[in-house]
Structure 1
Amino acid sequence: MVGGGQAGLAAGYYLRRAGLDFAILDAAPAPGGAWQHYWESLRLFSPAAYSSLPGRPMPGQAGQEYPDAAHVVAYLTEYEKRYELPVHRSVWVSGVERGPGGLSARTDSGTWRSQAVVFATGSWERPFVPAVPGRGVFGGRQLHTYGYRGPAEFAGQRVLVVGGGNSGAQIAADLTAVAEVRWATRRTPRFLPDEIDGRALFDLATRRVHAAADGPAHGGVGSLGDIVATPPVRAARDAGLLVAHPMFERLTESGATWADGTAWDCDTVVWCTGFRPDLASLRPLGLRPSHGRIPTEGTRSVEDPRIHLLGYGDWTGPASATLIGVGRTARTAVQQISTLLHTTDLDT
């Protein structure tokens, strides 16, 4: 398995229960996956009891209904130890190839051979910034969600936050206490009803899975909205501090300009524009067409059923990029791998 974050640990739990021999290769020097890199004020969308990996409920955090990232790191660290998962650090996988007897993973610590590979690398190492005109001429600082750690360093600044998803809303709200913030989004942000949190989103995703066999799904998570109104986001919104502006037309040396001629000077641009799956080391297998994603059936590669992609969002299973949701797809992936190993001659 490649990746030792929440998806890799969930798969490891089921691999251990299935009695299969496996190893987890993780490039990071410490446990916790991407959670160890998030900003200090980040909070889960759900209470701890609804943010658990299979087999081990997440304990609550004292004084917090919605745990912070550090609490999640501590939970994942304890989870890894509790189930004695064989995580090898720091091991960077440069390529996965087919070979005699199965698959080979080339790493900076040698070659690892296996009969199946679960890819659970997430997307944190591939931040995406759109090709906005003028991005190269802006004279201030630019950073991505990837590099944001907290509001203190932006005190007294004018900050342009770009992106209409949860990270954009949370970081914009975070900065309003210390900076003058303008929040730019490509379309009007849609806030989920205030009573909706990760529990309800997971329930909706589950119902969507169950309803899929009966025909096209109607409504679902996307029909409710895009942004979870966490308490800090709700407070900034209700105070009139979190106001979305249309996407600007271009950046200038001193700030941004809009199609109607409006200009706004700023010190910093924070790009909350998402990530892309970190799948570069699968390139030698030729699983991806010239454009688009690797074709999958659930988590399983259509081209090579020995390869499973886990935890990349709805593409590889509804809610599979969440703590509570990844267990379901991890269980199914391990069941399919176990069946494959016991029924198929995998020599190539």
Structure 2
Amino acid sequence: MEPHDALLDSPLDSLVIGAGQAGLAASFHLARLGIAHLVLDSAPAPGGAWQHRWESLTMQDVHGVADLPDAPAPPRSPLPAREVVPAYFADYERRHALPVVRPVRVDRVESEGELLVVRGHGPAGERSWRTRTLVNATGTWTRPFVPFYPGIASFAGEQLHTAHYPGAEHFRGTRVLVVGGGASAVQLLGELAPVTDTLWVTRRPPVWRDDDFDAEAGLAAVTHVEERVRQGLPPTSVVGVTGLALRPQEQRAARLGAYRRRPMFTSIEPWGVRWEDPPPGAPAREEVGAILWATGFRAAVDHLAPLGLRTPQGGIQLVHVPGNVQGATTAVRDPRVQLVGYGPSASTIGASRAGRAAASAVRRRLAPALA
């Protein structure tokens, strides 16, 4: 029996859902503040979304893994990120004795009087936990987004989202259509183009940059997202603010023409895609054998639906924190709920900072009971 098992049947001061970067940071700070809590994680092993990344993604390729509190992040190296980061997370859980319970998949969170009831299931069946506050750190990995286009169900080739990317060799000899205008699309084209024929489509022309992504640009990006969640709008990609850059390992793909982008197609056919009004000189139809959807993810917050946190605009409005855009974690419609790794904190560095902000907000919320 784990030492924290005794908490399972008692009302908790707080409960964290998710043991990725955001959840571990929140748990660390809750423990530091002496707040009794549990962390429920749906995965059978530590690592969050990192354990599911594609094999060819190395620690040299990732945009950066921020430090967890009191633990420097692993350095850049040619080692696979899906091995290095989960090992880092596992060591962190052990060294700080974080109260992680896994595997538990949370199905729904309901309000009962002053308490929140978290209902989920695991190998032992259905369970529920009562808690005074909640820190939601479920990220986006479990909700890959694929937009609908006419004919999508008729496609006879292979369709995959980047969440399930099997590596470039899988596509050798197959013409691949990469859909999406973000960093993942650029990285995957860099891998695929030297191996097989590729075609790239995006909704908007890509915004390229050739300078360093400095702190000022990073602040502009998260401020853009924070403004959206402050208004209750769904979080959106910040690529339009940050821009895209080609790394040295993508230069070969650039020379092969992989980044000559075409606008979005109108419909999908069994062995290709079609444009109703193609640009001058461009074909109205292109044949492809596979479609790789690099179209991002949506926040995994469906289990919070019973709490009615969403605005009519479709997002979860967070309380604005002047001077700290990544400190916006408290749900306006239910201050018992903190969201980390959501909106302006949906990055490794933002998630770590938001974990601290959320723990502090929980402490303030519990102050009368703890006095």
Per the shorter chain, which TM-score range?
0.7 to 0.9
Gap regions ≥5 residues in structure 1? 213-220, 315-319
**Structure 1: 4+ residue segments shifted above 6 A:** 206-209
Q: CA deviation at 1:224?
A: 5.6
Deviation at 1:264, TM superposition (A): 1.1
Deviations 1:34-82 (A, max 9, x none): 1111112222113x6xx22221001325457xx7333222212222222
Percent identical pairs in the alignment equals 40
Q: 1:117 aligns with which of 108, 118, 134?
A: 134
Contact residue 255 and residue 265 of structure 1 kept, 8 A: yes
Question: Does the aligned pair in 2 maintain the 1:38–1:149 contact within 8 Å?
Answer: no
Q: How does 1:1-348 map to 2 (within 5 A)?
A: 1-42=16-57, 43-46=61-64, 51-63=66-78, 68-108=81-121, 109-196=126-213, 200=214, 204-205=218-219, 225-238=242-255, 240-258=257-275, 259-260=277-278, 261-297=283-319, 298-314=328-344, 320-343=345-368
Which of 28-37 and 96-105 deviates more? Answer: 96-105
User: Matched residues in 1 for 2:155 and 2:30: separation?
Assistant: 49
The letter of the residue matching 2:106 is: V
Q: Once the 2 structures are TM-superposed, how far is the Cα of residue 99 of structure 1 from its aligned partner?
A: 1.6
Q: Distance in 1 between matches of 2:316 and 2:78?
A: 43
The amino acid of 1:322's aligned partner reads S
Following TM superposition, by how much is the alpha carbon of 1:290 offset from its aligned partner in structure 2, in angstroms? Answer: 4.2
Alignment root-mean-square deviation, CA:
2.4
Which residue does 1:215 correspond to in 2? none
Q: TM-score, normalised by structure 1?
A: 0.85
Q: Give me the whole-angstrom Cα distance separating, in 2, the residues matched to 1:71 and 1:201.
A: 26
TM-superposition CA deviations, 1:90-134 (whole Å, max 9, x none):
101111111245111011141111110001101111111111122
Q: What is the CA–CA distance in structure 2 between the aligned matches of 1:40 and 1:56, rounded to whole Å?
A: 25
Aligned length: 322
Q: What whole-Å deviation, never above 9, does each CA across 1:275-321 have from its counterpart, x for those lacking one?
A: 1111111111112134411221121111110001110232xxxxx22
State the alpha-carbon separation in 1 of the partners of residues 147 and 286 from structure 2: 20
Q: Identify the range of structure 1 (296-305 vs 100-109) with the bigger mean alpha-carbon deviation.
A: 100-109
How does the TM-score come out when normalised to structure 2?
A: 0.80
Distance 1:19 1:280, change over 3 A: same
Matches of 1:98 and 1:45, distance apart in 2: 38
Moved more, 155-164 or 80-89: 80-89
